[in-house]
Amino acid sequence: MEGRQNVSEDRRGQAEAFDAIGQHYDEAFPHKEGQLAAGRRLAEALAPGSRILDVGCGTGLPTALQLAEKGHSVLGTDISAGMLALAEKNVPGAEFRQIDIADLAAEGPAGVGRFDGIACFFALLMLPRPEIPGALRRLHGLLRPGGLMELSMVEADLDDAAIPFLGHTIRVSGYLRDELRQVVRDAGFEITGEDTYSYAPASTDVPPEHQVFLHCRRG
């Protein structure tokens, strides 16, 4: 895996939890209708061969695979080495790097360049709320002018809250949808559309959730 970077200490616990969850993640979340629809929207809106960043790509399923199969050049990033090892097997046609979202940059020794599109599905959940606006500004800066981003979050009024997740404890944040829209617009994105899904994971210790998908454009 090229470009592996160390994960910052404040995110190491999250990375270790997802390393342990590994292949069980896709078993617990077998139905991803919203994510599939948003990935398809992104794949079809961009010209064939476009460069797309999949932030928080996990096992590469379904998004990195979906984008690569449409002929796009895909870079997937995640903090979990275990997830990335699975992604490399699941999507051999994509590139994967272990990079914390807080360290994403276009330029520099570990720079990832710029993109025509970004898929950011539930990755921002893993950040404390004060870090989310900065992360969105970084993603905005990674997009070429007119570039597209598909963004999803779980609707919840939470800030760095500890929750049980597949036998582990992770920390998550969220917004109610009006505040989420405002945070995304403040980062410089135009919101061109929105979809909402009610989702119940195949797990007894994770409650049903409301997923918000925003269709965004960099002006």
Parallel, antiparallel, or unpaired for β 95-98 and 209-218?
unpaired
Render pLDDT for 30-82 as a digit per residue (tens, 0 to 9).
668 999 999 999 999 999 999 999 999 999 999 999 999 999 999 999 999 99
Please answer whether residues 29 and 165 qualify as being in contact, where contact means their C-beta atoms are separated by less than 8 angstroms: no
Report the pLDDT value the prediction gives residue 3, as an integer from 0 to 100: 38
Between CA 86 and CA 82 the distance in angstroms is 7
The SS3 call for residue 32 is: coil
Q: Average pLDDT for residues 73-95, to the nearest whole number?
A: 95
pTM of the shown model: 0.86
Between CA 5 and CA 79 the distance in angstroms is 9
